[in-house]
Amino acid sequence: MFKKLDILDEKEKVLREKCEDVVFPMSKDDKKLIQRMIDHLTNSQIEELSIKYDLRPGMGLAAPQLGINKRFFVVVHEYEEGKFNNYVIVNPKIVSYSEELIYASTGEGCLSVERDVEGIVPRYARITIEGFDEHGNPVRFRAREELSIAFQHEYDHLDGILFYDRIDKDDPFKDEDKMRMI
């Protein structure tokens, strides 16, 4: 039986804190939560289910958005129409990144931010990220484009950073011409 998650709003203090490393083995509760994050994100990207369960579409969630001050996040990426890859990354480290910067043409959104924020959020076009899955097995992913943005967005949450912190307040479209729009 699917039960939607209570996602914290940007005003909550836990969203501004630096999260703590996870010590393995992960608790049963945390593992259960990870499965619920996957289900929530997947359903939110399937139109029929997003309507049925009243879910805002989103591709990523980080633990602090659910009130958990720990370093892990989940990304559910629709790589082809109706086909999803799940990424669970615990204690992530971005081990390399491209020089090239990109930004999302539609701006970034966040399930904790219930308003549109205009402006450019500069992100690396390609990154390599390492960490562990929920069982403690090492994982390593190379991501580009949309998936690279999603990983960087979620990684930021673990340091208490929200996407609009990276938008220039005086000039939200600053350096537009120095980055590639995707």
Peptide bond into 25 cis (omega under 30): yes
Query: Which residues make up the interface to Zn ion (CB under 5 A)?
Result: 110
- Beta strand ranges found along 38-161 (DSSP E): 60-62, 72-80, 83-97, 101-103, 123-124, 126-132, 138-144
Minimum CB distance to Zn ion smaller for 110 or for 147 = 110
Minimum CB distance to Zn ion smaller for 68 or for 99 = 68
**Catalytically annotated residue among 78, 134, 145, 154:** 154
Minimum CB distance to Zn ion smaller for 88 or for 110 = 110
| CA-based nearest residue to 166, from 117, 112, 97 | 117
Residue whose beta carbon is closest to Zn ion: 110
| 77, HSE (Cβ side, Cα atoms, 13 Å) | 18
CB of 112 to Zn ion, least distance (A): 6
CB of 55 to Zn ion, least distance (A): 15
154 flagged as catalytic: yes
**Catalytic annotation, residues:** 154
